[in-house]
Amino acid sequence: MPNLKAIRKRIASTKSTQQITRAMRMVAAAKLRRAQERIVAARPYAEKMEEMTKNLAVRAGEDIKHPLLESRDVKRVQLLIFTSSRGLCGAFNSNLIKTGEKLIKEITDSGQEISLTTVGRKGFDYFNKRKYGIREKYLNLGAGDDFNTAQIIARDMISGYTEKEFDRVVVVFSEFYSAMKQIPLTKELLPVSTGVGEDSESAGELLSEYIFEPPAHTLLEKLLPQFVEVQIYRAVLDNLASEFGARMTAMENATSNAEEMIRGLTLTFNKARQEAITRELMDIVGGAEAQMK
Distance CA 135, CA 148 (A): 20
89 in active site: yes
3-state secondary structure the chain: CCCHHHHHHHHHHHHHHHHHHHHHHHHHHHHHHHHHHHHHHHHHHHHHHHHHHHHHHHHHCCCCCCHHHCCCCCCEEEEEEECCCCCCCCCHHHHHHHHHHHHHHHHHHCCCEEEEEEECHHHHHHHHHCCCCEEEEECCCCCCCHHHHHHHHHHHHHHHHHCCCCCEEEEEEEEEEECCEEEEEEEEEECCCCCCCCCHHHHHHHCCCCCCCCCHHHHHHHHHHHHHHHHHHHHHHHHHHHHHHHHHHHHHHHHHHHHHHHHHHHHHHHHHHHHHHHHHHHHHHHHHHHHHC
Distance CA 85, CA 247 (A): 12
Q: Which of 89, 104, 150, 235 is catalytic?
A: 89
Torsion of CA 272, 274, 275, 278, to 10 degrees: 160
**C-alpha closest to that of 18 among 252, 248, 258:** 258
Give the active site residues. Answer: 89
